[in-house]
Amino acid sequence: MHAAAALAQQALRPILDFALPPRCPGCGAVTREPHSFCLDCWSALTFLGEPCCARCALPFAYGEGENIMCGGCMAEPPAYDRLRAAVAYGETSRAVALKLKYGGRPGVAETMARFMQRHLDAASDPMLAPVPLHRWRIWWRGYNQAALIAAALARRAGLDARLDLIERVKATPVLRGMSPRERRQAVRGAFRVNPKRKADVKGRAILLIDDVYTSGATANACARILKRAGAGEVNILCWARVVRGGDH
Ligand SMILES: [Zn+2]
Ligand SMILES: [Zn+2]
């Protein structure tokens, strides 16, 4: 879709959302409440929480105490301090993410934000920032899905958001199918802190927002440049986290 058309559609969306009955963001069935799932999709989602790795939120089968890290994080600590995700990546959570990414349904960002909000540590008063898309992808699609989620979450929680805090300075290839080392190399030098925003970052807790956390290569690259720019705590909050295999 042409960017202008996508923007026009986005501008109309709140009116349409208001006029039409609320729909399940998983399967499209009509629901009673807006931004909620039908019973089938709700049961199909795996909500994440404790017990899990203190750093990367990898679920543990049993509670092992606080501040316990998984083997992967112990062997190679991530650049971010703490990751949290609303749900495990699976058929339903993927369908929701795709609706936001390609379906022209920005209202879905509100649903994701609603379920991500319980993982928010508002006490640290973080500044929210989306993982950026490269310009041509934004142009093509009309928006960055992570920015829509960050804006919705900031609004709900009354927190600051800087949607242009991080810039993607080079397009990266699709990371799927690459080894962890190849992924790290692919995203090297791909991001920078927006030069106009450097003063905002110093000593500030930053919460990076993304839709799906897959290998961590992108999140780690963003966390690394934020730390280098003097950020305090850098945490990640995403809608869905891939749980099986290939972490980090
Ligand atoms: Zn459903
Ligand atoms: Zn871990």
Mean pLDDT in order along the chain per 10 residues (248 residues): 55 57 91 91 94 94 84 94 96 93 84 95 89 69 85 95 92 79 84 94 96 90 96 96 64
The one-letter amino acid code at 229 reads A
Identify which ligand lies nearest to the alpha carbon of 76: 2
Q: What is the Cα–Cα distance from 82 to 107, expressed in whole angstroms?
A: 27
What spacing in Å lies between the alpha carbon of 120 and ligand 2's midpoint? 18
What spacing in Å lies between the alpha carbon of 222 and ligand 2's midpoint? 18
pTM confidence score: 0.86
What spacing in Å lies between the alpha carbon of 103 and ligand 2's midpoint? 32
User: Do 198 and 240 contact (CB within 8 A), yes or no?
Assistant: no
**Sign for the pseudo-dihedral over CA of 82, 105, 110, 227:** positive
What spacing in Å lies between the alpha carbon of 59 and ligand 2's midpoint? 9
**Nearest 5°: phi and psi at 175?**
-85, -15
Identify which ligand lies nearest to the alpha carbon of 84: 2
What spacing in Å lies between the alpha carbon of 118 and ligand 2's midpoint? 20
Q: What is the Cα–Cα distance from 127 to 204, expressed in whole angstroms?
A: 7
> Which pLDDT does position 27 carry in this prediction?
92
> Which pLDDT does position 133 carry in this prediction?
77
Closest alpha carbon to 221 in 204, 208, 202: 208
User: Do 159 and 127 contact (CB within 8 A), yes or no?
Assistant: yes
Q: Strands of 82-88's sheet, edge to edge?
A: 82-88, 234-241, 206-213, 127-130
What spacing in Å lies between the alpha carbon of 151 and ligand 2's midpoint? 27
User: Do 49 and 145 contact (CB within 8 A), yes or no?
Assistant: no
> Which pLDDT does position 21 carry in this prediction?
86
Closest alpha carbon to 146 in 86, 210, 197, 239: 210
Q: What is the Cα–Cα distance from 196 to 208, expressed in whole angstroms?
A: 18
Q: What is the Cα–Cα distance from 116 to 113, expressed in whole angstroms?
A: 5
**Sign for the pseudo-dihedral over CA of 226, 101, 16, 39:** negative
What spacing in Å lies between the alpha carbon of 245 and ligand 1's midpoint? 27
> Which pLDDT does position 106 carry in this prediction?
80
> Which pLDDT does position 235 carry in this prediction?
97
Identify which ligand lies nearest to the alpha carbon of 93: 1
**Nearest 5°: phi and psi at 125?**
45, 55
What spacing in Å lies between the alpha carbon of 68 and ligand 2's midpoint? 9
- Name 85's bridge partners: 238
Identify which ligand lies nearest to the alpha carbon of 57: 2
Identify which ligand lies nearest to the alpha carbon of 69: 2
* DSSP H helical ranges for the chain: 3-19, 39-44, 71-75, 91-101, 108-116, 135-141, 145-157, 180-187, 198-201, 217-228
